[in-house]
Amino acid sequence: MEPADSIRRLGFARWYERRLIEGHAWFISGVACMIAIPACIEELSFRGSVARLLAYVVLVLVAGAIGIYGLVRYQRILSEAEHLGEQATCGACGAYARFRLISTSDVRCRRLAERVGFEPTKRY
């Protein structure tokens, strides 16, 4: 889903909060997988059954894939949130995250709208 759709639906502050929560959930998942990998490798031995060996190898590979994916998702989500967060401060009045999304590239400051009584012509 595009960030604009989510921001329009939730508002920027709530969207930003949810993105941080989602990003950190991916980070925790990635770290848990990175901890599971050496634990599984430690259990690997060639003395047990082949099925047990294969199960640990599959577990290590799956944990590695999920761990890498989780850490990449964490980095991308936080980069996107920080990039948009840097642009969320109104240049005219300095209000943070108090804007109404008009289109994907056009926003209106709600604080200025309250001060001067300006109402955008489009409503969402």
DSSP for 37-60 reads HHHHHHH--SSS-HHHHHHHHHHH
For Zn ion, the closer of residues 11 and 64 by Cβ is 11
For Zn ion, the closer of residues 44 and 93 by Cβ is 93
102 phi/psi in degrees, rounded to 5: -90, -50
Q: Binding residue for Zn ion (CB under 5 A) from 8, 18, 108, 111?
A: 111
Which residues, 50 to 109, sit near Zn ion by CB under 5 A? Answer: 90, 92-93, 95, 109
For Zn ion, the closer of residues 35 and 93 by Cβ is 93
Residue of 101, 106, 97 whose CA lies nearest to 12: 97
Find the shortest distance in angstroms from Cβ 23 to Zn ion: 27
Residue of 88, 109, 113, 111 whose CA lies nearest to 100: 109
Question: Which stretch, 2-10, 11-19, 60-68, 111-119, contacts Zn ion (CB under 5 A)?
Answer: 111-119
Find the shortest distance in angstroms from Cβ 10 to Zn ion: 20
- Neighbouring CB atoms inside 10 A of 82's CB total 12
For the chain, how far is it from start to end, CA to CA, in angstroms? Answer: 18
Residues at the interface with Zn ion (CB under 5 A): 90, 92-93, 95, 109, 111-112
